[in-house]
Amino acid sequence: MVYQPAAGARDLLPLDVAQKRWIEDRLQQIFHRWGYHQIITSTLERMDTLMAGGAIGRRAVLKLQNDEQEELGLRPELTASIARTAVTRMAGAAYPQRLYYNANVFQRRESKHNRQQEFYQSGVELLGSSGLLANAEILLLVSESLAALSLNNWHLVLGEAGITRSLLEAFPAKLLDSVRNAIANLDRVALDELPLTDELHERARLMLDLRGRPEEVFARMANLVLEPAQLEAVDGLKSLVELLESSGNFSIILDLSLIQTFDYYTGIVFEVVTNADGQSISIGRGGRYDNLLGLYHPQGENIPGIGFVFLLDGLYQILSVSQQLPQTTPATNWLVVALSPQAYNAAFAYSAKLRNSTHLVRVEMDLGERDEKAIREYAVRRGIGQIAWIKADAPPVIESV
């Protein structure tokens, strides 16, 4: 029998880890420079936490049961867990709170073919601030993070969940999910097949057309009859687009049909996409969620929040083509060999001396049972730079491999 990972899971080998760390380290440096601090939350959560008041469907969660028959799940994303932690474990903290994470998540996929269910993500949450400046900070942070990865050919698909949700309110409740899915997938055929009135069919097609260059979409929206709250959201979106475009770092697609998988967003929503071999790949997404923290707050207090997540699997797919990622695992610098049992203590002491360098030095001890020829062959195969031959009563002999 050949043992394999569980269906949908996977192993990361040393080179995989080196490449993942290369991406995470560059993102982490940018997050630090913007004042964000790392947070680590539990992989396991209670189901009521994970579902975020119904915004995340039960079918997306890999469920577990503990000895107390309490229903638990593996986190499908991090925002709900961080929201819970912020209002329960960090009560009294000064706002805004700037937090970031590197973590794995688990999303249940219905498929006959062992589709991937474990994913790696890196993201930030900005808690306690609303308005133009907070929205702009998050999107400018996205841009600077991608620049740190030397990724330039990407687009920001920007929407507004509040406007989209209000436009959907006109549709019958029993058909709302079908309309949402058709719009989210830009599926005109599916929309045309729904049993809607001519007026609602026209409204649905209009929502599909609210996608394109910002100035064109804003012009189309001028023909809509909007409530005061919707007009305010449109004005906020215009101000944000103007600010981002003035930075010169954004290619923006305005998309008021953009509907995220998790339904806790209340304001701007966005997706970061790029192309590889003619295929559009999502490498990030995020948005504003001003009601989420209130679900977990002991007094039900709403605290605004906004964040984004980079999808490391998508980033890996893009970066692996560019050959930026490490192509080999980091080599060991030294192999220390004790030439006799009497030299064991001296070999350990010399290894410790090498490891205490101000720079990271990888030092292996030879564990015996090989002759000098086999030791040299091993060093060549492993790419080890130098061998230190240790005797009990003589200085080390250094050999470059």
Is the same domain home to 145 and 285? Answer: yes
Domain with 197 in it: what CATH number?
Answer: 3.30.930.10
The pLDDT tens digits for 43-92 are 999 988 888 887 788 888 888 877 677 889 999 999 999 999 999 999 88
Is the same domain home to 279 and 389? Answer: no
Residue 351: inside a domain: yes
Query: What is the helix (H) or strand (E) element at residue 386, kind and residue range?
Result: strand 386-391
Residue 4: inside a domain: no
What are the Cα distances from residue 149, in Å, to 1, 101, 261?
42, 17, 26
**CB-based contacts of 258: which residues, under 8 Å, 6+ apart?**
157, 158, 159, 164, 184, 211, 269, 270, 271
Domain span at 341? 334-400
- Greater pLDDT, 8 or 400: 400
Residue 243: inside a domain: yes
**CB-based contacts of 338: which residues, under 8 Å, 6+ apart?**
344, 346, 347, 365, 366, 368, 390
Residue 329: inside a domain: no
- Long-range pairs, 381-386, Cβ under 8 A, ≥24: 382/331, 382/332, 382/335, 383/328, 383/331, 383/332, 384/331, 384/332, 384/333, 384/334, 384/335, 385/331, 385/332, 385/333, 385/334, 386/333, 386/334, 386/335
Kind of pairing, strands 118-127 and 97-106? Answer: antiparallel
Share of the chain above pLDDT 90, in %: 63
Q: Where do the H-state alpha helices sit in 130-283? A: 132-148, 161-168, 173-184, 188-193, 198-209, 214-221, 228-247
Is the same domain home to 301 and 341? Answer: no
Average pLDDT over residues 169-184: 84
Residue 9: inside a domain: no
pLDDT of residue 110: 67
Q: Could you say which of 270, 288, 322 is where a domain stops?
A: 322
Is the same domain home to 136 and 242? Answer: yes
Is the same domain home to 297 and 371? Answer: no
- Greater pLDDT, 169 or 7: 169
Residue 221: inside a domain: yes
Per-range mean pLDDT, top range of 59-63, 186-190, 266-270 = 266-270
What are the Cα distances from residue 379, in Å, to 15, 235, 333?
18, 65, 10
Residue 67: inside a domain: yes
Is the same domain home to 267 and 340? Answer: no
pLDDT at 112 over 60: no
Do 62 and 74 form a contact (C-beta atoms < 8 A)?
Answer: yes
Is the same domain home to 348 and 309? Answer: no
Is the same domain home to 145 and 105? Answer: yes
Do 73 and 45 form a contact (C-beta atoms < 8 A)?
Answer: yes
Is the same domain home to 280 and 341? Answer: no
The string over 95-118, giving b where at least 16 C-beta atoms fall within 10 Å of a residue's C-beta and e elsewhere, is ebbbbbbbbebbbbeeeeeeeebb
Is the same domain home to 162 and 286? Answer: yes
3-class secondary-structure state, position 223 = coil
Q: Which DSSP state fits 170?
A: T
Is the same domain home to 52 and 83? Answer: yes
pLDDT at 141 over 70: yes
Domain count, the chain: 2
Is the same domain home to 280 and 392? Answer: no
Q: Could you say which of 292, 322, 352 is where a domain stops?
A: 322
Q: What angle do CA 82, 83, 89 make, to 5 degrees?
A: 80
Q: Where do the H-state alpha helices sit in 343-401? A: 344-355, 372-382
Q: Could you say which of 322, 356, 386 is where a domain stops?
A: 322
**CB-based contacts of 270: which residues, under 8 Å, 6+ apart?**
139, 156, 157, 158, 159, 258, 285, 286, 287, 308
Residue 355: inside a domain: yes
Average pLDDT over residues 313-323: 90
pLDDT of residue 111: 59
Do 133 and 166 form a contact (C-beta atoms < 8 A)?
Answer: no
pLDDT at 158 over 60: yes
Start-to-end CA span in the chain (Å): 40
